[in-house]
Amino acid sequence: MATLTTQNITRAGVAQTYGAAAGGGDGMECGANMFLQVKNGSGAPITVTLNVPAARVYEPNVAITSPTVSIPATTGDKMIGPIDAATFADPTTGLCSITYSGVSSLTVAAIKLTQP
């Protein structure tokens, strides 16, 4: 698993740099102001899964499941988040673990909205 470098967006903007999604998945910083930008240039839709550690529950008996997001083929471009720590942080690494149904022509960027 590769760890994505967090890129800060400010009022001045950000020209984010995208990196290839890792075949074994990626990890990224968690926080209420963290987002994952995903671009799919392949000829098929790709599913992105944000993995929720097994022990998470919102209320008694309501387990939190790992959300999946479909990124459309060819020109799919989605921003996913916020990726809050209370839901997504792995208890060992503190990172959100991300997996992909495919990585061909899939690029990603970890984006953080900073305070002014």
Which residues are CB-neighbours of 48 under 8 A, at least 6 positions away?
Answer: 36, 38, 68, 69, 70, 71, 80, 98, 99, 100, 101
| Edge-to-edge order in the sheet of strand 2-3 | 2-3, 26-28, 96-100, 46-51, 68-71
Is the domain covering 2-8+18-113 a CATH 2.60.290 domain?
A: yes
Percent of the chain at pLDDT > 90 equals: 78
> What would the pLDDT profile of 104-113 be if each residue is shown by its tens digit?
999 999 999 9
Question: Residue 33 in 3-state DSSP?
Answer: coil
Give the per-residue pLDDT at 60.
72
Of residues 42 and 115, more confidently modeled: 42
One-letter identity of residue 48: V
> What would the pLDDT profile of 63-75 be if each residue is shown by its tens digit?
788 999 999 999 9
Give domain limits for the chain.
2-8+18-113
Report yes or no: 36 and 111 within 8 Å, Cβ to Cβ.
Answer: yes
